[in-house]
Amino acid sequence: MHLFFSGRKISSCTMKTGHPEIVSQLVDLIGITSIMEVLIRLIGADETMYSSYADSMQWLDDIQVLEMIVDKFSTSDSPEVHANAAEILCAVTRYAPPALAAKISSPSFVGRLFQHAFEDSRPKSVLVHSLSVCISLLDPKRLVSASYQAFRSQLSHGTLVTASPETVNGMLDSLGDLLKLLDVSSAENVLPTTYGSLQPPLGKHRLKIVEFISVLLSIGSAAAETRLIQLGAIKHAIDLFFE
């Protein structure tokens, strides 16, 4: 995979004119870390590699590569697939070419993320990693993972996506449903520990929801602050310390 993208003369124009189905095949293997890194480069995280091929970026938008990736939250039960899909999407929020930046920050794309996150049959990892993408949209400088940070250090800086008021409002539409997931009164799970039993255990998904709330509070959005107050989000978060 390193050889696949090591040459500066190689561009996604090759796939465009020859085998565009390769992109779909790569997305199907997104759970493999090396494939994830190839997709990040292909999408344009390494801007210097594709600076002369603007039409290639439009082609990637035309074949709906971001939709292919986000739909892995719905079609796969693998936590590794969910984690790698989120890392790619978070990379796009930091270094996206303009066309992809506009798409990933659109209310419709945010709505698609939450749609997958709230599907009843989906594992909690879908919710956790979908929120990671939303957090990265709100705060692109926030770190995703140590492994990706090491990979990211090799890449050039592109366009930094900034969440628009419309993007924030799209997230606020789902805030009420997120807060319902903080309710632990009906949970029956018990986690024995050396310090006693957690009944129920807090869970990564609740921690991620609280992180999402904290980022909403930090972005200086009056609409976000008003909605958080109306829904009692801070009280819900504080109650987790005592329930």
37-51, 69-83, 162-176, range with greatest mean pLDDT: 69-83
Structure tokens at 239: 């109650």
Q: Are 117 and 180 in contact (CB under 8 A)?
A: no
> What is the Cα–Cα distance from 105 to 120, expressed in whole angstroms?
25
Separation between Cα atoms, residue 194 and residue 172, nearest integer Å: 39
pLDDT of residue 189: 62
CA gap 65, 44 in Å, rounded: 12
Q: What is the pLDDT of residue 230?
A: 96
Q: Which tens digit of pLDDT belongs to each residue from 138-156?
A: 988 765 444 444 444 444 4
Going from the C-alpha of 45 to that of each of 26, 58, 65, 150, 165, the distances in angstroms are 16, 15, 14, 14, 25
Across residues 64-73, what is the average pLDDT?
95
pTM for this structure? 0.81
Tens-digit pLDDT profile for residues 90-119? 988 888 777 888 899 999 999 999 999 999
So what's the pLDDT on residue 46? 54
Cα angle 61-62-66, degrees, rounded to a multiple of 5: 40
Distance (Å, whole) CA 159 – CA 140:
11
Categorize the per-residue pLDDT at 3 as very low, low, confident or very high, splitting at 50, 70 and 90: very low
| Lowest-confidence region among 35-39, 158-162, 208-212, 218-222 | 158-162
Write down the pLDDT at residue 234.
92
Asked whether 35 and 1 are in contact (CB, 8 A), the reply is: yes
Instruction: Give per-residue pLDDT as tens, 175-184.
Output: 999 999 988 6
